Structure 1
Amino acid sequence: MAAAGARAELDSLLLRLLADLEELEAKRAALNSRVEEGWLSLSQARYAMGAKAVGPLQFAARMQPRVRVAACESQDQLQKFRVVKAGAPAPEEVGPREATLRRRKGPPKTQEPESAPVPQDPLNWFGILVPHSLRQAQASFQEGLQLAADIASLQIRINWGQSQLRGLKQKLKQLESEAA
């Protein structure tokens, strides 16, 4: 009886693992196509604007990231990666800034710390009227970053599923040897 339950759990885990592997393959293919499109659009922009107009000399002296990758735990205790805008507070940072109570009779004595300014669009480094291919390259790389975060999360879930699968196989062998 216990062996039948373990086999059913093994089957469902195997089906979920195969679905995750199929999704991983699709996301990797999408990532490869996005990166390829991005490089193609970038080379078209360099051709349209000139090789010296699109290059490292146009980068800002102090570049600030527009997005960051945040790691958090999902409901099943696995790490999940997501892309977060640089100006947005992380979920851990939301909440009261002070742990003590304040008196509300007058204006507060301490000023709230100013939030970091949102970084400007990097396309503005190359001029006001940039070619459409440069915007396409930016969009392709942004989508690629989101896909990369999804792939990393999916890979963690697959590794967890594989370890669970090994454990269930050992448990099933042990149950079958006890029954014999």
Structure 2
Amino acid sequence: MAPEVCKKKLDSIIDEIFAHLSDLSSLRRQLDKELRDGYLQMAKARSNMGQKSISSLQYDERQIEPSIFVEVNKEGAGPHSFNISKDALQADLDSTLDGTSLRKRSTKCSEVIETVGPDFVESEPADGKSIAEKKAKDPLLMFGVLVPQALRMSKSCFERSIPVITKICSTQAVIVCLKNEYLALRSQL
């Protein structure tokens, strides 16, 4: 590769690195804000409910299942990309139970869930292994039915931080790939 072409390529890589560093800095500020707000709201909830009401002793860690997964995709020699995906059961539930095709009725014996679609009618009792049982539990219910609003706000702050974290990881992976490309081109000079 000609030295002039190589130098122009190095300059464009440096410009890209600085652009990604700027994005990374703003994403980190956003993440810091969300986490700070989440911890502050959790502290408010602890003071409202009592110091021992919100702790790891309140729930059984063996029964906790993730509701969000982060998938890592690696395409060839390029950077990793990080994507958020819901739990497989939750995704199945969302796809089969949209607001237009679900109707809930109470009967005398037990509750029956009917899924009414354009071509079929499906019934199943809510007692056994049903679709409603597959739905992910709200983790706040481990602390009681009436939890403080601050605890709900804390949960939403932490949920909003998850996409920001995946963007930070993807941006850092791009920066590392650009750095390696820069070093490889620089060694050719």
Q: Which bracket does the TM-score occupy, shorter chain normalised?
A: 0.7 to 0.9
The alignment's TM-score, normalised by the length of structure 1, stands at 0.72
The alignment's TM-score, normalised by the length of structure 2, stands at 0.69
Partner of 2:42: 42
Gaps of 5+ in 2: 93-129
1:52 deviation in Å? Answer: 2.3
1:118 deviation in Å? Answer: 3.2
Partner of 2:126: none
CA distances 1:25-51 after superposition (whole Å, capped 9, x unpaired): 111122122111111100100111222
1:74 deviation in Å? Answer: 5.3
- Counterparts of 1:139 and 1:88 in 2: how far apart (Å)? 20
CA distances 1:132-170 after superposition (whole Å, capped 9, x unpaired): 211111111122222222211111111110011111222
Gaps of 5+ in 1: 90-113, 174-180
1:75 deviation in Å? Answer: 8.5
- Counterparts of 1:118 and 1:88 in 2: how far apart (Å)? 9
- Counterparts of 1:118 and 1:73 in 2: how far apart (Å)? 31
Partner of 1:32: 32
Tell me the C-alpha RMSD between the 2 structures: 2.4
- Counterparts of 1:74 and 1:170 in 2: how far apart (Å)? 25
Superposition pairs of residues 64-83 of structure 1, within 5 angstroms: 64-73=65-74, 77-83=78-84
What percentage of residue pairs aligned between the two structures are identical?
27
From the two aligned structures, give the one with the greater strand fraction.
2
Is the partner of 1:46 in helix, strand or coil?
helix
1:71 deviation in Å? Answer: 0.6
Verify the 8 A CA contact 1:20 1:158 in the aligned structure 2. Answer: yes
Which of 153, 159, 170 is the aligned partner of 1:142?
Answer: 159
Partner of 2:141: 124
- Counterparts of 2:175 and 2:135 in 1: how far apart (Å)? 36
Is the partner of 1:54 in helix, strand or coil?
coil
Verify the 8 A CA contact 2:78 2:177 in the aligned structure 1. Answer: no
User: How many pairs align?
Assistant: 148
1:76 deviation in Å? Answer: 7.3
Verify the 8 A CA contact 1:34 1:140 in the aligned structure 2. Answer: yes
